[in-house]
Amino acid sequence: MIRAWWAVFALLATAGAGPPSSLPVPPIPPAHPPTDQSAPVPDRDAQAPSEAAEGPRVGVRDFRVRRFNQGLGYVPGSQFETSEEKRPIQTPGLAVQVPLR
């Protein structure tokens, strides 16, 4: 029991002896804010896209993922390749695009 109290005392003593946590000083707003700039507003002349979505579209696609900057410690110009990336011809897949209204 005495060991437990000494452990609690040691824990509190080491936690209390740490440096105080100080927060940075927040920026002080200017006394006179600039009045010559207007706030951003949405574009009132914006129009909807001219291409109307007619219906779902289905197409054949190659879904090979192109990853960039995957050197991760390899020699310059080389990168890790998964077994899927090592295949010369990828298995094609179907891409289905359904417009939402």
- For residue range 21-54, what is the model confidence (pLDDT) as tens digits? 788 888 888 888 777 777 778 888 888 777 766 8
- For residue range 73-84, what is the model confidence (pLDDT) as tens digits? 667 667 677 777
Query: How many whole angstroms separate alpha carbon 37 and alpha carbon 39?
Result: 7
Residue 84: which residues within 8 A CB-CB, separation 6 or more? Answer: 64, 90
Largest CA distance in the chain: 80
- pLDDT attached to residue 76: 67
Say whether pLDDT at 9 is over 80.
yes
- pLDDT attached to residue 71: 57
Residue 75: which residues within 8 A CB-CB, separation 6 or more? Answer: none
